[in-house]
């Protein structure tokens, strides 16, 4: 004689298996929600840091550029030596002796290399750093050189949108009295140091060669910094970006203010 298996044993095993699977799915869902929440917080922190980073960089440039050329006769020494879309070189009479001495030429430039350690740790492949170079013996014009100079801002992409495969937001734009961008005038050329720095204001518009009746046509400089988060937004699939812009008139003219987007 054989003993019949107890009724319901198989169904109990099925129920237990289903319960385990449902529990696993529930725990997995909770974990995914937790991870997404943590990622959202991380992205929020990154965006706040990007905004503060760009704000600090713009503020530093504006502060120095407001005094560019102050106390020096523009007929002898124009205040802006080179005005390019991603590079700005200007004079600053720090000691007030009415002439430009060693260490009184300053260059701000977007470093063309993305190999700096401060950017290689970011998964975002478009990150650049903004550097500040001061003229010195052997380099009185503060020539922009990749890897040289103080880093004043990082994580700058200068992109208006994710679909932009390269920089499309100029770091610097030089406006005349009518608000027209002088670096975009017909006939303007690229920066003498390299094509990376974009188009450059002509020598005539900068006030070169200096002399009686020669004036600098740059009335204001618009400084625009765009920084992006390191990671893409989980909801949109895009990089969140912070934009800070300011307009400043060289030679201690009033600062027209800063805009944050």
The residues near 205 (Cβ < 8 Å, ≥ 6 apart) are 174, 176, 182, 185, 216, 217, 218
**Token couple for 16:** 């237990």
How far, in Å, CA of 41 to CA of 188, rounded?
Answer: 45
CA nearest neighbour of 62 among 243, 226, 228, 225: 225
- Mean pLDDT of the region 58-84: 88
Going from N- to C-terminal start, the domains of the chain cover 36-260
Beta strands of 1-104 (E only): which ranges?
Answer: 80-84, 87-91
Render pLDDT for 7-37 as a digit per residue (tens, 0 to 9): 556 677 777 777 777 776 766 665 455 455 5
Three-state secondary structure call for residue 81: strand
pTM of the predicted model over 0.75:
yes
How far, in Å, CA of 120 to CA of 116, rounded?
Answer: 6
């Amino acid at each position: 004689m054989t003993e019949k298996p107890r009724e319901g044993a198989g169904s109990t095993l099925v129920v237990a298996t289903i319960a385990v699977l449902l529990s696993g799915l529930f725990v997995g869902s909770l974990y995914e929600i937790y991870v997404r929440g943590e990622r959202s917080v991380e992205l929020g922190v990154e965006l706040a840091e990007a905004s503060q980073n760009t704000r600090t960089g713009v503020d530093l440039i504006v502060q120095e550029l407001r005094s560019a050329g102050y106390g020096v006769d523009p007929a002898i020494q124009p205040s802006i030596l080179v005005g390019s879309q991603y590079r700005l070189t200007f004079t600053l009479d720090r000691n007030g002796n009415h002439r430009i001495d060693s260490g009184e030429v300053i260059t701000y430039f977007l470093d063309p290399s993305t190999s700096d350690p401060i950017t290689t740790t970011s998964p975002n492949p478009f990150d650049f750093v903004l550097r500040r170079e001061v003229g010195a013996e052997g380099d009185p014009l503060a020539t922009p050189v990749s890897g040289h100079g103080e880093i004043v801002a990082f994580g700058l992409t200068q992109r208006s949108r994710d679909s932009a495969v390269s920089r499309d937001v100029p770091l610097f734009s030089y406006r005349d009295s009518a608000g027209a961008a002088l670096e975009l005038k017909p006939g303007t050329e690229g920066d003498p140091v390299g094509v990376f720095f974009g188009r450059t204001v002509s020598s005539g518009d900068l006030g070169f060669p200096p002399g009686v009746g020669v004036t600098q046509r740059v009335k204001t400089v618009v400084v625009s910094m765009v920084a992006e988060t390191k990671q893409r937004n989980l909801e949109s699939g895009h990089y969140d970006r912070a934009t800070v812009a300011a307009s400043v008139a060289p030679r201690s003219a009033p600062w027209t203010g800063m805009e944050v987007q």
